[in-house]
Every structure is written in C-alpha cells, then in structure tokens.
Amino acid sequence: MSIEPPAFGEARRPFGPRDPGDAWVIAPSGERYWGAFGAAGLLALDDGRGVLLQHRVSWSHYGDTWALPGGARHEGESARDGALREAAEEAGVPHASVRPRLLSVLELGYWSYTTVVADVTRPFEPTISDPESRELAWTAPEAVADKPLHPGFASSWAVLRPLLEMRPVVVVDAANVVGSVPDGWWHDRPGAARRLIARIGRLAADGIPAASLDLPEHTWFPEWVVVVEGQARAAGDEAEGVEVVRAAASGDDAIVTETERLIAGGRTVTVVTSDRELARRVTDASTRHGSRSARAGVASVRGTRWLLDQLP
C-alpha cells in the first residue's frame, strides 16, 4: 500500500481524459495524498511465486522504492474495483486471475487507502504498462522487507504480513440450514438448495466483517463450500465464489472429509451446522489434524442462525 501519492500522478494518462479522482487531497497538516476519492492497491499473492511488487521509477515520489500496483479511485468506484482496475492498468493483472481475500483500510478521515489482498487463482505474467514502473517482480513474503520499500507500504506490510497466513473457509451444511426455515422446502429440495447457494454467492461477493469469524479487524472474503446431499444434489451449477460439493452418500461424512482436507492444507475452517453430533465430529477432526501438522489450520462451528443473519 502506498499512502503517499506519486509526485507525477497527473502524467499517468497524458493522452486520455482526466478522471475527477486524479487530484490531490491536502491534509490539515499540509501533507498531500493522491486520489480525491481515496486510493487503493492490490496485493496479489501467488502460492508458488510470492507477492507481486512494483519497482517505482526514480522520478516518482520516493523513487526507486518498491510498493504495490495501485492508484486513485474513480468517483463512485468501490475500493475493490479500484484496486483491480489499477492493477490491470499498471501491471496487466487479469481480473479473473485473482480472488479477493480481505480488504485492509487506512482511514484518515479526509482520505483513505484500501489494500485488497487477493489470491492468484490462475497464474499470469505481469506486464509493465505504466510510466511509473521500472520493474514488476514476484517476491517471496519473507524477502519483501529486504527490499527498499516505499515508507507507506513498509508500514502497512508489518500489518499485512501476518494476515497472509490466514485463509478462512466456510463449509455449509446445506440440509441443516435449509431445514431450519419452515418455508416449504420439502416440496422442492433442489430449488431450496439452489436459492441458498445463490444467496451465499451474493454474500461471497460482498464480504463479511471480521468479528463474525473471530478474525483480525478487516473485511474478509472467505472461501465458501456448500455441501448438498440427497435430492438437493440436483441443485444445479454453483454460484460465483461458491464451491458446491455433492455428497455421494452421507452429507455429514462429506462435511467431515472436506473439513479434514481443508485444515490439513492450512485453512481456518468454519462449519455452519446446528447438528450437535456433526459439530462434535468437526471439532474432533480439527484436533486430530492440528496435532499432526504444523501447517494445519483449525475448525470451529457456527449455528445455522449465524449464517441466516449474514445472508442478504
């Protein structure tokens, strides 16, 4: 995150129309910040290659330092959309190749900067398409601090680095959630499951507050896994941002299997169910895998009301 704007930000698009967001904000103490509507940057994390960093040219503000692709937000543009747009313009990051994991906001009252931490889901090669970039490089997280960092990014990196280890996943017991609301679901089990998946898809796009998952205070975009069983397996295609697991037999067994797989891979798993026996099995699975692997994550349980209160 670059909390100081580039000194020559206005020259970024010399031949195109100037966006009203491309302007300075003057702090009460006199400092200048680039972006009339705030600014945003993308921290793209590739499991195999590390963090995508931008080496700034010498004539820019804090030249010859390293930071994240980012810049001023447009009027009415969300921070997430702004970060993705700037990353595409400056580093050729395809929108479809990254999945947001969290939003971290520096809020000064008169100006804000949002860092969007996103996982690379489809490998891509970044391309320099901005006059402020000398170089774009994938850098292992443990080596980021060894580079001469932009002071704003250096400050934010101390906060962001520990968060890269947190990869929350919510596994939903669809039968239990659907069955908790007496709305006639028994007449059309596939339709009821399909409606639940669609609502979870909207929640996946909007993100959820950290407090609801006992995570550090940011807006999080956990991975979502919905397990369906029986007739509900005919629910149809999954919604964007939601993986649907169709249990071959017992839905509970499939949920425990998914939980074991995810926590063994280092995920922090929240299982949504009000089934006490399934909750016990999930907790036991977390204990078993947590004792076997230093990388293993943990699993916790939330009741169906927790999810229903989150859903749009």
Task: With beta carbons less than 8 A apart as the criterion, state whether 127 and 91 touch.
Answer: yes
- Assess whether 302 and 184 both reside in one domain: yes
- Assess whether 183 and 293 both reside in one domain: yes
DSSP count for the chain of H helices, then E strands: 8, 16
- Assess whether 156 and 172 both reside in one domain: no
Task: With beta carbons less than 8 A apart as the criterion, state whether 256 and 279 touch.
Answer: no
CATH code (residue 292):
3.40.50
Tokens of 26: 């003057």
Quote the pLDDT of residue 289. 64
Quote the pLDDT of residue 145. 96
- DSSP, res 213: G
Domain membership flag for residue 45: yes
For the chain, what is the domain count? 2
Task: Identify the domain boundary among 116, 141, 163.
Answer: 163
Quote the pLDDT of residue 266. 87
- DSSP, res 122: S
- Assess whether 62 and 101 both reside in one domain: yes
Question: pLDDT tens track of the chain, all 312 residues?
Answer: 444 444 333 334 444 457 889 898 999 999 888 899 999 999 999 999 999 999 988 887 777 899 999 999 999 999 999 999 999 999 999 999 999 999 999 999 999 999 999 999 999 999 998 787 899 999 999 999 999 999 989 999 999 999 999 999 999 999 999 999 999 999 999 999 999 999 999 999 999 988 888 888 899 999 999 999 999 999 977 788 899 999 999 999 999 999 999 998 889 999 999 999 999 999 988 877 654 444 346 789 999 999 999 998
Domain membership flag for residue 276: yes
Quote the pLDDT of residue 14. 41
- Assess whether 48 and 128 both reside in one domain: yes
Quote the pLDDT of residue 180. 95
pLDDT in tens, 145-183: 999 999 989 999 999 999 999 999 999 999 999 999 999
Quote the pLDDT of residue 84. 96
Q: Which of 81, 17, 8, 53 is nearest to 145 (CA)?
A: 53
Domain encompassing residue 20: 9-163
Q: Apex CA 201: angle with CA 198 and CA 204, to 5°? A: 160
The pTM assigned to this predicted structure is: 0.84
